[in-house]
Structure 1
Amino acid sequence: MRPDILLFQVDQLAVRWLPMHGHPVVQAPTLMRLAEAGVLFENNYCNAPLCSPSRFSMLTGALPSRIGAYDNAADFPADLPTIAHYLRAAGYRTVLSGKTHFCGPDQLHGFEKRLTTDIYPSDYGWTPDWEQPEVRPSWYHNMVNVRDAGTAFRTNQLDYDEEVVQAARREIYDAARDNDGRPMFMMVSLTHPHDPYVQRPEFADRYDLAAIDLPAISAAAVPLDPHSARLRHVSAMDEFEITEDMVRRARRSYYASITYVDEQLRLILRALEETGRAERTVIVFTSDHGDMLGERGLWYKMSWFDPSSKVPLLVHAPFLFGPRHVPEVVSLVDVLPTLIDISETGPRHAAPLDGRSLMPHLTGSSDGHDEAIGEYLAEGAIAPLFMIRRNRWKFVSSLPDPDQLYDVAADPHEQFNLAHLPEHQDLVRQFQAELARHADPHALRAQVIASQKRRRLVDAAMRQGAWTSWDHQPVVDATTSYVRSHLVLDDLDAKKRWPPATS
C-alpha cells in the first residue's frame, strides 16, 4: 500500500528558533516527538526567502527563474506540474487546506479539493518596481509589527489558521467515512508564526519575558551590506527606535506562535490517529522561509543570512526510515522528487527539475548531494541576488553589490565576509564562474523588470470598472449538509459516525 503524505508547512519559521535545533527557550513538544523518531535535516534552505517564490519552487521542484516565480505577485502558470499534479495522476486524493499564495486565475494547481481560501491576495497588486527602488511599497511590512507586538484574543491570523486546521481535520474524518480507498496527499499550510507578532495569552504566558533571548548579533556588530541597507528601507526599519523591550515582546510572541503551530500540528496528528491513518502517513514539516527576528538589526526575511533562509525540514515515517540527523545541505526544491520517490509514482517528470531526491539522505546512504541554490528577485533587490550554499561555504552575489563569502562552519552568525581576502580568491572565482553558467544576471534582470511592467499594467486595468476576483471561493453544498428532509436520517447518522457503530 502506498503511504499517505501530510505536508505541513508554516510561514516564516527558521531552524534557529526550534528546540530540536538547539533553541533553549522555545517549546514545541509535538515537533520534538516527531524529530526523535524522524529524519531531521540540519541544513535545509529555501530557494527564495519570500512566500510565493519559495512555495512555487517547492511545489514544482524548480528554481524561481525557471518558472517566473519572481515575487509575491508573480503569476503561477497553470501548466507547471506540481507535487499535487504528479500524485493525483498517480491515484492520490490531493487536498489543500491553507495558505499557498497562488497568484493568478488557477487557484488549485493540481489539488482536487481546496478547503479554504487564501489569507493573501491572488492578484498582481503587490508587484514590486525595480526601476523605482527609492519608493517604498505602501503595502509592505513596517516596524509597527515590532512596536505593537504582544497578545490578543483574536487576530486575522488566528481566525485563518483555526479555519485551516478545522477544515483539514474534518477532511481527514471525511476521507475515512466516505471510504474513498485512495491514498491521500494533504498539504496543510498555516500563516503563523509570520508577523504581526501577536499571540493568544495562554501561549504567550508560557514564556517569561525576562528569559527571552536578545539577538546574538547586533546591528553595530557587523557592517551594513548594500542589500541589508535596501531591506532596512523597504521595511521602514529606521522609522522609529526599536527598544530592547519591543524586541523581547516581539520574540516572545513569535516563540508563542511556534508553540501555537505545534499545537495545531498535534490536532492534525490526532485526527490521523483516530482514523487509523497515522501508521501509514509520511509527515513532512517545513517552512517557506525564516525571520531575522532582530538579528543584525534586521527583521522579516528577503535575505540570504541563515535566520531568513535556513528553514526546517523534518520527515517522520518510522515505517520507512530510521531516525537520523542529516548534516548535508539540501533545499526545498528537493521535496517534489523526494515525494515522487516515496509515493512510488515513478520518475514521470513532465518538466525540468532543479531539485534532487532526498532518498539517499533518508536511508542513510553516502551518495546524497550537499548543495543549495537560491535566487532572490523581489522587494529590496535591484538585480538578481544569488546564493550558493555548499559544504561549509555560503556565497552570495548580485551585480551591484560586493560578493559575500562566509565559512558558516567556523562563523555560524556570518559576521566575517571573506570574499575580499587573497587566500579565498580562487574559491570566489569558482563560485562566480558557476553562477555565470547558472544564469545571465543581466538577462534575468531584464526579464524580471518586463514581468513587473506587464503585471502592473494588468493590475491597473483590472481595477477599472467591475472587479473580478481570482481569490479561491470554497464551495459548500448546503443541500447535503447535516440533516435534510430528503435524506434518510438513520442512514445519514450512520454514515457520519466515526468509528462506525458495532452491532
Structure 2
Amino acid sequence: MIRSLLIPLVCSISSLAADKPNVLFIICDDLNCDLGSYGHPQVKTPNIDKLAARGTLFSNAHCQYSLCGPSRASFMTSLYPDQTQIRGNNILIRKNTPKVVTMSQLFKNNGYTATRIGKIYHYNVPKAIGTNGHDDPASWSDVFNPIGRDKTEEKKIFTLKKGQYGATLSWLAAEGTDEEQTDGIAATEAVARLKKHAADKTPFFMAVGLYRPHTPFVAPKKYFDLYPVDQIEVPTVPEGYFQTIPKAAVKTLQTKKEQINLKPELARQAIQGYHASISFADAQIGRILDALEETGLAKNTIVVFTSDHGYHMGEHGHWQKRSLLDQGTRVPLIIAAPGQSKKGIKTNTPAEMLDIYPTVAALAGLTAPSYLQGINQAPVLDDPDATPRTSALTQLNVDDFSLRTERYRYTEWKQKDAKAIEFYDHQTDPKEMKNLAKDPNYKKQIAELAAMLEKRVKAAKQTPAGVK
C-alpha cells in the first residue's frame, strides 16, 4: 500500500520490487483530454486507457502555463513560471535558475541512468525536430533525438498559412509505417533501451517526449481513417458569448485571425488530424508499455503519462493553446506505481504539473530539494478522496491568473489599471460557457476565491533560495 510518509512508502515499494524503482515518464505535446479514459466518445486510445486501468487517473490536473516552454520548465523544476522567469519559449532553464536540480537530474544524482528520448524541454516544432532543442544537458546521462518522415517530407503538409506548420493548423495523412515517423522512431529507441536496462539490471529514469499531436497533425493514413470527417462535430459558440467575458479573454481566444470562424470543412479536417495524431501517439505508447511488460520491468517501474498543457479544437471559438479555460489548462495525468493497492481509480482532487516531481521522488524514496513548489500526490494513489492540495494555479502572460478547485474556476485578467473576472461553476457548467462573475448568488464564493488567488499568486512570485 502506498503511503504519504516516506519510510513506509519505501518499505511498501521494496517489498514488491527490487532495490530502486525505475521511472518511465511519457509526455505528449499539445495533448488535451480527448482520450477514451477521460470520457471522449470518439477518440480511440486503448493503450493509454489500459495504463489508466492499472493506475490512477487525475481528472482535474492543470499546467502552470498553457504554452510549451514555460510549462515544461515548470514541471521539470517544480517551480512556477514567475520563479523560473520563463513565460515564453526558447529560454534555457538555467538562464535564471542556474543551480536548480531538475526532476531527472535528481535521479541521475542518485545513481540512475537518466535518458531523454525526444522532446522534454521546449523545441520549436517541427523546425527543431532532430536537434537538442532548448534542452538542459545537466538533466541527462544520455539523449536521443529522433527524426522521421513527418519532418523530412514537410512540404507535403497542408497548412492554413503557406510555409508555416508549428504555429498554425496543418495536417497530413502520411504514407508509410508508424516506425518511419519521428514518434515511431522514438518508441523503437525506447523499446531497445528498456530491453538493455532489463538485461543490465540498471535503474533508470527514462523520459520519452512524443511530438504528436502538436501541429502539424501528421500520422499514417490508417489513423485518419478512424475518424471519418462526416462524423466529426465542430464546437459552436452561442450568440453573444464574447460579450460575456473580459476583453482580455476575447483577445486571447481570437489571437490567430486566420483561425477565427474557420470554415466547417476545414474545421472537421483539422479535428480529424488532431484525433488521428492522438491515436498514432497512443499506438507508440502501447509499444513502449508492451516492452515494459515483456521485459518484466513493469513490476518495478513508476509510469507517469501526461501532456504539457491543454489544447482547444474549436471550443470557445479558439484553436490551439494559450487560454485560461479548462480546455487550455487541463492535462491528462495518469500515474501507475509498484505497490499501488488500488488500480483503475479516478480522482477529481486538484493537481498541478508541479506535483509530478515531488510525487515520483517520494515514490522512489528519494529526498527531493526543499524548494520544490509542488505537493506530493502519492496519498491519492491509495485514496482518490485525499486532497493534498485544494486548488491548481495557472498563469498566462505577466499578470493573468486562474485558479481551479474541485468545483469552480476563478480567473483574473489585468485590463489597464483594473481587473476583469471570469467565474465558472463546473457542477452546472462543465464546458465553462456561462460566466457567473456578476451573479449575486456566487458573491461569497467569488470573494473567497479572490482571496485564495491573491495568496497563491504572491507565493508563486517568490523565488525560493537555492536555485540561483
Taking structure 2 as the reference length, what is the TM-score of the superposition? 0.80
Q: 1:29-76 deviations in whole A, cap 9, x for unaligned?
A: 111212122111111111111111111111111111111121112331
Q: What CA deviation, in whole Å up to 9, does each residue of 1:94-115 have, x standing for no partner?
A: 1111112348976324211111
Counterpart pick for 1:11 among 19, 29, 34 = 29
Instruction: Give the deviation of 1:160 after TM superposition.
Output: 2.7
> Which residue identity does 2:402 align to in structure 1?
M
Deviations 1:282-305 (A, max 9, x none): 211110112110111100010011
For the residues of structure 2 that align with 1:307 and 1:3, how far apart are their CA atoms?
A: 34
Superposed displacement of residue 150, structure 1 = 4.7
CA 1:117–1:72: 2 relative to 1, 3 Å: farther
Could you tell me which residue of structure 2 aligns to residue 75 of structure 1? Answer: 92
Is the radius of gyration larger for structure 1 or structure 2?
1
Distance 2:31 2:400 in 1: 21
Q: State the shift of 1:118 in Å.
A: 9.3
In structure 2, the residue corresponding to 1:402 is in which secondary structure?
strand
Alignment of 1:119-138 (within 5 A): none
Among 313, 316, 335, the alignment partner of 2:356 is 335
Asked if 1:227 is matched to 2:256, the reply is no
What 5-or-longer segments of structure 1 have no aligned partner? 120-137, 378-382, 448-503
Q: Per the alignment, do residues 107 and 158 of structure 1 end up closer, same or farther by CA in structure 2, a change over 3 Å counting?
A: farther
One-letter identity of the residue aligned with 2:191 = R
What residue is the counterpart of 2:120 in the other structure?
100
Q: Deviations over 1:118-166 (max 9, x none)?
A: 99xxxxxxxxxxxxxxxxxx989665x2xx54523279x9743233222
- Structure 2 CA distance, aligned partners of 1:384 and 1:261? 35
Give the paired residue count.
411
Rounded Cα–Cα distance in structure 2 between residues aligned with 1:315 and 1:232: 32
> 1:422-471: CA deviations, max 9, x gaps?
33333333333333334469x97xx9xxxxxxxxxxxxxxxxxxxxxxxx
1:492 maps to none
CA contact (8 A) 2:310 2:328 kept: yes
Task: Name the counterpart of 2:193.
Answer: 171
**Cα distance in structure 2, aligned partners of 1:391 and 1:337:** 21
1:42 aligns with 2:42: no
Equivalent positions of 1:377-396 (< 5 A) are: 377=397, 383-396=398-411
- 1:313 and 2:333 aligned: yes
- 3-state SS in 1 of match to 2:24: strand
Q: Which residue of structure 1 lines up, in the alignment, with residue 346 of structure 2? A: 325
Residue by residue over 1:73-98, the C-alpha shift from the partner in whole angstroms, topping out at 9 and shown as x without a partner, is 23311422111121122222211111
- CA change 1:149–1:102 in 2 (3 A) is closer
Cα distance between partner residues in 1 of 2:180 and 2:70: 24
Report if aligned partners of 1:282, 1:316 keep a CA contact under 8 Å in 2: yes
CA distance in 1, matches of 2:354, 2:240: 33
In 2, Cα distance between equivalents of 1:228 and 1:288: 21
CA spacing shift, 1:197–1:220, aligned 2, 3 Å: farther
Whether contact under 8 Å (2:68, 2:122) holds in the other structure is: no
Is contact 2:120–2:207 with CA below 8 Å preserved after alignment?
A: no
Q: Are 2:349 and 2:387, in contact at CA under 8 Å, matched by a contact in 1?
A: no
User: Aligned pair 1:193/2:213, yes or no?
Assistant: yes
Secondary structure at 2:393's aligned position in 1?
strand
Higher strand share: 2
Whole-Å separation in 1 of the counterparts to 2:338 and 2:134: 39
* Whole-angstrom CA distance in 2 between matches of 1:116 and 1:99: 8
Report if the CA contact (8 A) 1:27-1:259 is conserved: yes
1:116 maps to 2:149? no
Q: Give 1:12's aligned amino acid.
A: D
Partner of 2:429: 411
Distance (Å, rounded) in 1 between the aligned partners of 2:325 and 2:457 = 22
Moved more, 88-97 or 222-231: 222-231
The verdict on how the C-alpha distance between 1:84 and 1:142 changes in structure 2, with shifts beyond 3 A counting, is: closer
8 Å Cα contact 2:308/2:331 also seen in 1 = yes
Closer/same/farther in 2, CA of residues 233 and 418 from structure 1, 3 Å limit: closer
Tell whether the 8 Å contact from 1:10 to 1:192 is kept in structure 2 after alignment.
Answer: yes
Find the counterpart in structure 1 of residue 305 from structure 2: 285
How many angstroms apart in 1 are the aligned matches of 2:197 and 2:430? 45
The answer to whether 1:345 aligns with 2:362 is: no
Moved more, 363-372 or 287-296: 363-372
Query: Which residue in 1 is equivalent to 2:382?
Result: 363
Contact 1:72 1:101 in 2 (8 A): no
Shift of 1:311: 0.8
Tell me the TM-score normalized by structure 1.
0.75
Q: Is the 8 A contact 1:68 1:74 kept in 2?
A: no
> For residues 163 and 294 of structure 1, what CA distance do their matches in structure 2 show?
31
1:211 aligns with 2:226: no
% identical equivalent positions: 27
Q: Secondary structure at the match of 2:257?
A: coil
Take 1:367 and 1:438, find their aligned partners in 2: how far apart are those partners? 17
- Does residue 1:422 correspond to 2:451, yes or no? no
Partner Cα distance (1:192, 1:105) in 2: 18
Q: Report the equivalent of 2:80.
A: 63
What is the CA RMSD across the aligned residues, in angstroms?
Answer: 2.9
- Within 1, Cα distance between the matches of 2:223 and 2:284? 12
Secondary structure of 2:31's counterpart equals coil
Task: Please give the secondary structure, in 1, of the residue aligned with 2:403.
Answer: strand
SS of structure 2 residue aligned to 1:403: strand
Structure 1 Cα separation of the partners of residues 423 and 407 of structure 2: 10
Whole-angstrom CA distance in 2 between matches of 1:74 and 1:118? 22
